[in-house]
Amino acid sequence: MQGQAKTGLLRQLYIQVLIAIVIGGLVGYFWPGVGTALQPVAEGFIKLIKMMLAPIIFATVVVGIAKMGSIRDVGRTGVKALIYFEVVSTAALAIGLIVVNILKPGVGMNIDAATIDATEVSQYVQRAHEGGIVEFILSIIPATLVDAFAKGNMLQVILVSVLFAIGLLQLGERAKPLVEIIDTGLQGLFRMINMIMRLAPIGAGAGVAYTIGKYGIGTLASLGQLMLGVYITSIVFVFVVLGLIARWAGFPLLRLLRFIKDEIFVTFGTCSTEAVLPRMLVKLEQAGVRKSTVGLVLPTGYTFNADGTSIYLSMAAVFVAQATNTDLPIYQQLVLMGVLLLTSKGSAGVAGAGFVALAATLSTLHTVPVAGLVLLLGVDRFMNEARAVVNLIGNAVATIAVAKWDGAFDPAKARDLMRRQDAGEAMPVAIAESTDH
């Protein structure tokens, strides 16, 4: 019996991923060359998931909205989601500013900004100048319908999906056969994701091996205080702010974390929330959220509700100011927070999004030297795990909270899930046929 229990435990995805992360860390530390060479393995796993995102988001949004029965319901849910995103993102930025002013991780470094070689961050500065609010809004509109899916731009896919779903709503009964076909196709896509997710331990282990192999544990020493501050702030934000929201919504945070533990470990290892988006779509529906709300809120939250990134951005910007002895009074920090609310959205979906957002902000304000971003390059990857995990948890809580606010949350279904957790029963398989509401 004991042997069967161990075998059953090893079949759990989060255990497999955790073991792979430990092995990957050891490989990266003792054989850094091998760890660095494993980058294509980690990238390959992420690419396998990303190739599935556009059709899954399209099908989920279309089926969910088409079955809502009212265009007004779609608009109401969308507005409530955006309000929630902005309020919670502002809270994340504010908490980051408070903690970085208390810890002062950059004070005492006394770095002369004029002596910093900014060559390594020039690409991020260039991208920042290329972007802007107007460009961001226009970029949501694809050149063609096919272009949105070919490039895998999440916001473009959501726009096309919402418009198509509204069109089907207007067709009424005539659209039902097509909606059922799309729903059946969605279940096939979920089966494909289920096959790909078997490779998650390999992708996560390779990702950790690459990070430690390339940057080394030694890079953490010089900026350890900043890293510690980001991690502490992230933990406080999750358990205090998101914890209170989750309790109000009727799904206590610890229960939610237990339910999505597989996805948390995969995100930690790969530094990518996109790797688990398909699983999260189904799991949140299993937790009691209406399918249409999950399909609309969760993918949109990936762009507009990056809580972990918000914490990092505010702390990193003030850290650079402290390290370069740049005076940054409170009123300028409040201006900084306001600009970050905009620039963090403008860089969504861009490689190196954190640096792009920081570069855009610092370039706009002209108060903190942009060259100071060089100081963050060595440890950015190590803080990316915290950002990604907080973003994942934040969007899970956001989806449940918006559903509760919108009357699209089934507390009885959530209580049944929690009862099964307490009884030690097997949780629903994430990628399985979902139920309609």
pLDDT of the residue at 112: 64
- The span from the CA of 266 to the CA of 278, in Å, is 13
* CA–CA gap between residue 293 and residue 399 (Å, rounded): 7
Rounded to 10 degrees, what is the CA torsion of 228, 234, 238, 242?
Answer: 150
Q: What is the CATH number of the domain that holds 273?
A: 1.10.3860.10
All residues at 6 or more sequence positions from 422 whose CB lies less than 8 Å from its CB, including other chains: none
pLDDT score for 12: 75
**pLDDT given at position 132:** 56
Q: Does any domain span residue 437? A: no
Q: Residue 56 has what pLDDT?
A: 84
The Cα-based distances of 314 to 82, 341, 397 in angstroms read 21, 10, 22
Domain membership of residue 430 (yes or no) is: no
Distance CA 41, CA 245 (A): 37
Q: In the beta sheet, which residues pair with residue 289?
A: 409
- Counting the structural domains of the chain, the total is 1
Residue 97 in any domain: the answer is: yes
Range of the domain at 56: 14-422
Strand-pair partners of 409: 289
Say if residues 373 and 117 touch (Cβ distance below 8 Å): no
Residue 218 lies in a domain: yes
Token couple for 149: 């899916």
How high is the pLDDT of residue 396?
Answer: 94
User: What gap in Å lies between CA 133 and CA 306, rounded to an integer?
Assistant: 17
Angle between helices 377-405 and 71-103 (to 10 degrees): 140
CB count within 10 Å of CB 8 equals: 11
CA–CA dist 149, 14 (Å, integer): 31
Gap between the Cα atoms of 402 and 298, Å rounded: 10
Does 431 map to a domain? no
Regarding pTM above 0.75, the answer is yes
Contact 324, 368 (CB under 8 A): yes
CA–CA distance, 57 with 299 (Å, rounded to integer): 7
Given this model, what pLDDT does residue 383 score?
79
Q: Is residue 86 part of a domain?
A: yes
Rounded to an integer, what distance in angstroms lies between the CA atom of residue 144 and that of residue 160? 10
Segments of the chain scoring below 50 in pLDDT: 1, 5, 346-351, 431-437
Under a CB-based contact definition with an 8 Å cutoff, are residues 295 and 165 in contact? no
pLDDT for the residue numbered 347: 47
3-class DSSP assignment, residue 409: strand
Q: What pLDDT was estimated at residue 133?
A: 61
In tens, the pLDDT along 141-186 reads 888 888 888 877 777 888 888 888 888 888 888 888 888 888 888 8
Query: Would you state the pLDDT for residue 350?
Result: 44
Separation of alpha carbons 368 and 374, rounded Å: 13
Asked if the structure places residue 176 within a domain, the reply is yes
pLDDT given for residue 121 in this prediction: 53
Q: Could you tell me the sign of the dihedral formed by the alpha carbons of 230, 232, 238, 241, in that order? A: negative
Distance CA 401, CA 407 (A): 10
Cα distance between residue 117 and residue 319, in whole Å: 18
Q: Is residue 6 part of a domain?
A: no
> What amino acid occupies position 167?
G
pLDDT at 342: 72
- Give the pLDDT score at 348: 46
